[in-house]
Homo-oligomer: A and B are copies of this chain.
Amino acid sequence: MTELEKYIQSYFGISQEDLAQVGALFKRQTIKKGDYFLKTGRVCDKLSFIQSGLLRIYVQTPNKEVTQLISTKGYFVTDLASLIFNTPARWTIQALTDAEIYTIDSQDYNRIGTLIPKWHELEKLFIARCFTILEDRIFTHLSMTAEERYHFFFERNKELFNQVPLQYIASMLGMTPETFSRIRKKSIS
């Protein structure tokens, strides 16, 4: 079983055969550090699984660049709204490191449901789980200070802190790099 299949298995819980069928629709692909997976304004016509490497999802606003998420091994990456509704992508997605990904194009993606009858239901559950993760993330912004968000995130994502420029984590947590740096200093000493 490939790693992709293992992850799909764990997220969706489908049979060996179904797994092989879905897995086969994903094509292995490498993407170099700095390359763009997606740019704001284009329609996102693919969904990828990250086998290795790191991708950053962000938006360029008039004032500043805002990092929405850093996606790592084992996660799927796409602009969901754009993929599903064919709207222009809100996010730009760029590789922070060389990355190995498995990609399915939107055509094949839309075909999964016909191959595997239960797929829509399982995917519904998967997206619902993603939904609740975002609910919780909003809650952190309503209830926590920058410092609390830092610790909360750090406890759950220690590895990330020595893999990516910290300014991106700062942005993702809704604070400036300077504030991030000061909290970090306090926390280390």
Contact = CB atoms under 8 A, between A and B. Distances in A.
Interface of A: 59, 61, 64, 66-68, 80-81, 84-85, 90, 113, 120-121, 123-125, 127-132, 134-139, 141-143, 171-172, 174
A170 B10 CA distance: 40
B80 A128 contact: yes
Contact of A139 (B68, B129, B136): B68
Contacts of A68: 135, 138-139, 142
Contacts of A128: 80-81, 84, 127
B141 A138 contact: yes
A124 B132 contact: no
The quantity of this chain's copies bound in the complex is 2
Contact of A127 (B64, B127, B137, B142): B127
A128 B87 CA distance: 13
Interface of A is mostly: helix
A81 B139 contact: no
A170 B59 CA distance: 26
Contact of A172 (B131, B134, B142): B142
Nearest to A175: B142
A175 to B, nearest CB: 9
| Closest CB pairs A-B (n = 7) | A134-B134, A124-B124, A120-B121, A81-B132, A141-B141, A120-B120, A142-B174
Given A127-B127, A127-B131, A128-B80, A66 B174 contact: no
Contacts of A134: 131, 134-135, 138
A141 B124 CA distance: 26
Contacts of A171: 142
A54 to B, nearest CB: 19
Contacts of A120: 120-121, 124
Nearest to A130: B131
